Amino acid sequence: MDLIPAPRSVVTGPGPGSGTGEVRLTAHSRLRAGPGTEGVGHWLRTALGQATGLPLHEGCEPGDDGIRLRLDPDLGPEEYRLVSDPDGVLIEGGSAAGVFWGAQTLRQLLGPDTYRRAPLGPDRARSVPHLTIEDAPRFRWRGLMLDVARHFMPKEGVLRYLDLMAAHKLNVFHFHLTDDQGWRIEIERHPRLTEIGSWRARTKTGHRASPLWEEKPHGGYYTRDDIREIVAYAAERHITVVPEIDVPGHSQAAIAAYPELGNTDVIAASIEGGNSLSVWDTWGINPNVLAPTDNTLRFYEGVFEEVLELFPSEFVHIGGDECPKEQWRSSETAQARIRELGLADEDELQSWFVGHFDAWLSARGRRLIGWDEILEGGLAKGAAVSSWRGYAGGIAAARAGHDVVMCPEQQVYLDHRQDPGPDEPVPIGWVRTLEDVYRFEPVPPELTPEEARHVLGTQANLWTEVMEDHARVDYQAFPRLAAFAEVAWSALPAPAERDFTGFEQRMTTHYRRLDALGVAYRPPTGPLPWQRRPGVLGRPIDGPPPHR
């Protein structure tokens, strides 16, 4: 069956009193979605209908062996049970989400061609062997972060990634919407954010030390209706979208649109021939950060008001990473603010900035989440941390009683190269192979069981400086995202005891699913010729990752 992620238990074989050994779906098979599962029924009928051509009419006839969906209040919220027996296929879940994950399993059981959008022919097998699967996720936060700022991914590509996440039982889409290189979400009250901030005139090709440029404009943004569609499409797949609006660093695109957001007293002095910045066209950590003024706070409150209208998620990500302090050190306005607030230094100014939005979001019933730099200088109780600079930030946060999402760059930054060979396209970072990701453990052993309860889950991050289109994103994400999904969902043993050989064997089938889905993954034998980027400079880091 080669299920990925592996379920908690599978008992194969006929149940009591059964006959033939499999459920065959035919033109007469029906799909009956019980109360509370109608949305899953609609999704399943559409997905299986496209791939098989079967109508799967609503309802249940005597003697019919179709598919039934229903809630079982005795199961946990995302838990499900899938039974295939002479009565057909029954999927029960503790909530619609549980039933949905069961429906994803059913799709895998029906074979790789079930991932296609049209049937390959009338005679293809559409059967499920008799079995019972019981399953539930290890973590409630099984995330994927996609950076659409460095390279824009048009809406169709985002919807496709939501489908790919659902197929892997991932349920949090961290949507990195703003950065120095682009602002990707329409904000009605500040139209220049997208008029000016959503595109750049040219783009660095490869690592920032590369001499190459792509000399053409790059850009794009999501309208408010695009965002509504993305959020609704995700919700149909039981995926929560967590928006990220990065402050106070990673903000050059916003400053290009509204120069008064920047530290104008120092920027004016540093730019030749004028005092306005443009959207950044290269990579790295950017010195141009937000000015800590009331104007900036009011501006971003307005941005977040619109963000809250569009995104119902409990968590809102405010970035908070990589905010160089040089401009604040030399800006008279920033220094006056430090004195007025009685702060010790620029680090406390950053903490004050983050704290402002922490309180602002809490007052509106939401929770702030930010990169682990936000821990520096203290953090309000309800705030959570994305631990990216290794495990340390997450350990400190959990010990201080904060919830944590573990996404250490040394383990699950999927922009990092996946093989040491010379053919990897634009190789950056450490070598993180499929096996490395499979052996990634989100909960560090240093934490007590009580502290470990603060680990909400884990997330893989896709930064797109060196991924110019969706095929490049696919290449970096897959197959490693399949291993990551198993880490996030399945109750795997300790890293050294994990059966990677068994996982690789299951991957043989999973590659056929990815083929059917049209995913441009990295083949186990290495990149295909058109997946290489000869001559484009990367920045490989040699040696073992420092936090291992």
Q: List, by residue number, the catalytic residues.
A: 179, 250, 322
Reduced DSSP (H G I as helix, E B as strand, rest coil) percent helix, strand, coil of the chain, to 5: 35, 20, 45
Candidates 321, 376, 469, 504: give the one binding ligand ACM (CB under 6 A): 321
The packing angle between helices 224-236 and 294-310, to 10°, is 50
Asked if 139 interacts with ligand ACM (CB under 6 A), we say no
Binding map of ligand ACM across residues 271-310, x = CB under 6 A, - = no contact: ----------------------------------------
Backbone angles phi, psi at 231, to 5 degrees: -65, -40
Query: Closest by alpha carbon to 147, among 173, 113, 120, 119?
Result: 173
Q: From the CB of 404, what's the least distance to ligand ACM, in Å?
A: 14
Asked whether the beta carbons of 178 and 198 are under 8 A apart, the reply is no
Q: What's the length of the chain?
A: 548
Which residues within the stretch 7-36 sit at the binding site for ligand ACM (CB under 6 A)? none
440 binds ligand ACM (CB under 6 A): no
- Residue 198 to residues 221, 226, 299, 541: CA-CA distances in angstroms? 6, 15, 18, 31
CB nearer to ligand ACM: give 357 or 388: 388
- 530 phi-psi bin (left φ>0, alpha ψ -120 to 50, beta other): alpha
Residue 510 CB, nearest distance to ligand ACM (Å)?
28
Name the token pair of 127.
């059967």
Strands 57-58 and 22-24 turn out to be: unpaired
| Of 198 and 386, CB closest to ligand ACM | 386
Q: How far apart are CA 486 and CA 469, in angstroms?
A: 26
* # of chain residues touching ligand ACM (CB under 6 A): 4
Cβ of residue 545: shortest distance to ligand ACM, in angstroms? 14
Q: How far is CA 315 from CA 158, 182, 392, 420, in A?
A: 20, 22, 22, 37
Spatial CA neighbour of 146 closest among 398, 317, 307, 358: 317
Residue 386: DSSP 8-state: E
- Find tokens 């190789």 and name the residue: 427
When the beta carbons of 82 and 323 are compared against ligand ACM, the nearer one is 323
Residue with tokens 């704290």: 355
CB of 388 to ligand ACM, least distance (A): 4
Nearest residue to ligand ACM, by Cβ distance, number only: 321
User: Least CB distance from residue 165 to ligand ACM, whole Å?
Assistant: 20
Nearer to ligand ACM, 322 or 515 (CB): 322
Residue 441's nearest CA partner among 506, 399, 391 is 391
Nearer to ligand ACM by Cβ, of 261 and 412: the residue is 412
Encoded tokens for 405: 């999402």
- Residue 373-392 contact track with ligand ACM, rule CB under 6 A, x = bound: ---------------x----
Q: How far is the CB of 325 from ligand ACM (least distance, A)?
A: 16
User: In terms of CB distance, is 134 or 321 closer to ligand ACM?
Assistant: 321
Least separation, in Å, of the C-beta of 145 and ligand ACM?
9
Which C-beta is closer to ligand ACM: that of 22 or that of 322? 322
Task: Tell which positions 490-529 bind ligand ACM, by CB under 6 A.
Answer: none
Spatial separation of the C-alpha atoms in residues 62 and 28, rounded to whole Å: 12
Q: Residue 517, Cβ neighbours under 10 Å: how many?
A: 18
Near ligand ACM by CB under 6 A: residue from 315, 371, 478, 521: 371
Report if residue 322 touches ligand ACM, rule: CB under 6 A.
yes
Compare residues 167 and 462 and give the one whose CB is closer to ligand ACM: 462
* E strand or H helix at 387: strand 384-387
User: In the complex, what is the shortest distance from the CB of residue 11 to ligand ACM, in angstroms, rounded to a whole number?
Assistant: 43
Q: Which residues bind ligand ACM (CB under 6 A)?
A: 321-322, 371, 388
